[in-house]
Amino acid sequence: MQNGLVIFHRASLWCNSETRLHIFWKICNTFFLGLFLARLYLCFGLVIICSLNSCTILSIKIILIILPCGS
């Protein structure tokens, strides 16, 4: 859980920069989103909804972060 909190904190920092969020969101849509859906029930995923004040790119700002899969 410690790693999850660290990832959550780091992801929150991405929301401070719309440029970084935009790039990260593109990566999520092209790769991680599909991977997340494919392994939704096999691996742990972290969904972060950014505040509307910090992220203004999409109406609903969601960052999908794929945590390492356990054996």
- What phi and psi values does residue 35 have, to the nearest 5 degrees? -65, -40
Higher pLDDT, 19 or 51: 19
Per-residue pLDDT of 4-47, as tens digits, reads 555 555 666 655 555 555 666 665 565 655 555 555 544 343 44
In this prediction the pTM is 0.21
Q: What is the pLDDT of residue 58?
A: 42
